[in-house]
Amino acid sequence: MTENPIFQEAKNFIILQEKEKVAEITKKFIEDGGDPMEIMNKAFIPGINEVGDLFGRGQLFLPELMLSADAMLIATDLVNGALEGTANAQKKGGIVVLATVKGDVHDIGKCIVVSLMKANGFEVHDLGRDVDVDRIIEEAVKVKADVIGTSALLTTTMKQQKVLEEALKTAGLKDKIKTVVGGAPVTPRWAARIGADGYAEDAQDGIVKIKEMLN
């Protein structure tokens, strides 16, 4: 089956930093009954990944990266709004504290994870980005979290996920609160090495892993 050409068009709008066109195409796709996660996974994420590759190769610079990120945030907000509209309050998925780790401002992926978890009936406490390990643990204790999920996008900040594991052990909480790690540089090997309970490749995988843990 041939792929819907709208995905290539939407991907290009992210690469070309066309914020208004991103908003238009996303709204139209959703209004026409499209699955919001489909346009996210097939157009916007490949688009921003391509921007990241161009930036990594020095073919695109920080101001352009920031404009593409703004366009991506518009798409994410619209997709997340549509996902939250589908939330099923009947399902009880458990209590999850989510954050992007200290030193890291990348939160587009984490926001998608938050919305998809809410849509799947989890009680989500989103601490935002650049969040200190002590703050994450404090909130997890306060809300009696079943799971702490962290996102890290930089090779320098993923070490914070290890700091979290060590702090949980020191506080005697390691066997009480499960942990899931995610983010572009994070791998299953890293998760195993630092003693995290789970690794999630994407938002959907995060839901699957947390559900497995809580069963």
The stretch near ligand B1M (CB under 6 A) out of 13-21, 29-37, 84-92, 181-189 is 181-189
Beta strands 147-151 and 198-199: pairing type?
unpaired
Beta strands 147-151 and 178-182: pairing type?
parallel
Residue 110 lies near ligand B1M (rule: CB under 6 A): yes
Residue 15 lies near ligand B1M (rule: CB under 6 A): no
Residue 146 lies near ligand B1M (rule: CB under 6 A): no
Residue 94 lies near ligand B1M (rule: CB under 6 A): no
- Burial of 113: CB neighbours in 10 Å, binned 0-12, 13-18, 19+: buried
Select from 20, 28, 56, 91 the one that contacts ligand B1M (CB under 6 A).
56
Residue 188 lies near ligand B1M (rule: CB under 6 A): no
Distances 78 to 9, 71, 135, 172 between C-alpha atoms, Å: 17, 11, 29, 40
Select from 120, 182, 190, 197 the one that contacts ligand B1M (CB under 6 A).
182
Tokens describing residue 75 = 């798409």
Expressed in angstroms, the distance from the first to the final Cα of the chain is 37
Binding site for ligand B1M (CB under 6 A): 45, 48-49, 51-52, 55-56, 62, 65-66, 69, 72, 98, 103-110, 112-113, 149-151, 153-155, 180, 182-185, 200, 202-203, 206
